[in-house]
Amino acid sequence: MKKMFLFFSHDLTQIQKNEAKNNLYIKEFISLDDELQEIWSSIPSDEESLKEYLKPLKKFLEERASLGDVILIQGDFGAVYSMVNFAKSLGLKAVYATTKRTVEEIVEDGKTIKKSIFEHRRFREYE
């Protein structure tokens, strides 16, 4: 049973879940628990290295993931780079979500309001 681990700070939309099930053959979605989510969502900007900081997340993957599982990774660039490389070393498929952005401009009372709409397009593998 193929699992998708979620290393990002949002909830999957139904469209994303459907694509993961239909195109990546995902049967189970694994979110981070509150403690690990806080670690992932609060990457410290003042640390010179994230090697020690990311250890709990790497341990979680080592204990729960199986060869061929998928990990959706988005967030801090350095943390993403480290986790993508680590995930690949475990034989996992590391992906990110791509979107199409549409911008609408509305003029109200002499003010221009920009509204950005992001629409999921696909999951793309980190290469």
Q: What is the 3-state secondary structure (H, E, C) of the chain?
A: CCEEEEECCCCCCHHHHHHHHHHCCCCEEEECCHHHHHHHHCCCCCCCCCCCCCHHHHHHHHHHCCCCCEEEECCCHHHHHHHHHHHHHCCCEEEEEEEEEEEEEEEECCEEEEEEEEEEEEEEECC
* 23-71 confidence digits (pLDDT tens): 999 999 999 999 999 999 999 999 999 999 999 999 999 999 999 999 9
* 90-120 confidence digits (pLDDT tens): 999 999 999 888 888 888 888 999 988 888 8
The first and second tokens of residue 40, run together, are: 């992932």
Q: Where are the domains of the chain?
A: 3-125
The pTM is what?
0.85
